Structure 1
Amino acid sequence: MRSEHRAVENGLRRLLNAWDPIGVADEVPDEYDCMHAPLLRRLRDGADRAEIAAFLRHELVDHFGLAPGPSGPEETAARLVTWWTATGGGAARG
């Protein structure tokens, strides 16, 4: 169970670092880890792409102080939901 949880965390980190809205993932690979728990909670609760995109947009504006690009949160939300579905809905619950 522990390795499954680690795999989920690593997958989420990889996706958020690929998005890298503030451009620091190469130097600070855990910069977006603050979004892990809220994102996983939403994904486990069945959030759709629009809900995930709204969360990402909120984090960009309120947490990181950035204006979101025109499609950044939506594209990333789509990737996150697709990834979550491919993991079997997060087999590493708990």
Structure 2
Amino acid sequence: MRALLRGWDPIGVFSIPGPAPPDEYDCLIDPLVERLDRGDGADDLIRYLTQRLHDHFGLSADPDKLRQFVGRALEWRAGGTLL
């Protein structure tokens, strides 16, 4: 999940030259995995992430990139592969 979040990089911290904190999105890992485990769908995950990004990071996500990330997260959970 950490690799998926870093790949999405909703606040753009990994696109800035120089080292980025490897745990930047760790605050999202457990809540996302819990939601995936209980079977939340794409719309629920999008609502959660939209609110969380706003409340925690003070930013809004690109809707297309958010939907792509949620699709990858759902695929990751369906495959059962832990990163």
TM-score range, shorter chain: 0.7 to 0.9
Distance, in Å, in 1 between the alignment partners of 2:25 and 2:54 is 14
What's the CA shift string for 1:18-67, capped at 9, x where partnerless?
A: 00011224511111000111111101100111111111111111111012
Please name the residue that 2:73 is paired with.
Answer: 80
4+ residue segments displaced more than 6 Å: none
Q: How does 1:9-88 map to 2 (within 5 A)?
A: 12-25=1-14, 27-87=20-80
Gaps of 5+ in 1: 1-11
- The SS at the match of 2:58 is coil
Q: Percent identity?
A: 38
Q: TM (normalized to structure 2)?
A: 0.83
- The SS at the match of 1:47 is coil
Distance, in Å, in 2 between the alignment partners of 1:73 and 1:53 is 7
Distance, in Å, in 1 between the alignment partners of 2:13 and 2:27 is 14
Q: TM (normalized to structure 1)?
A: 0.74
Higher relative contact order (CA 8 A, sep 6+): 2
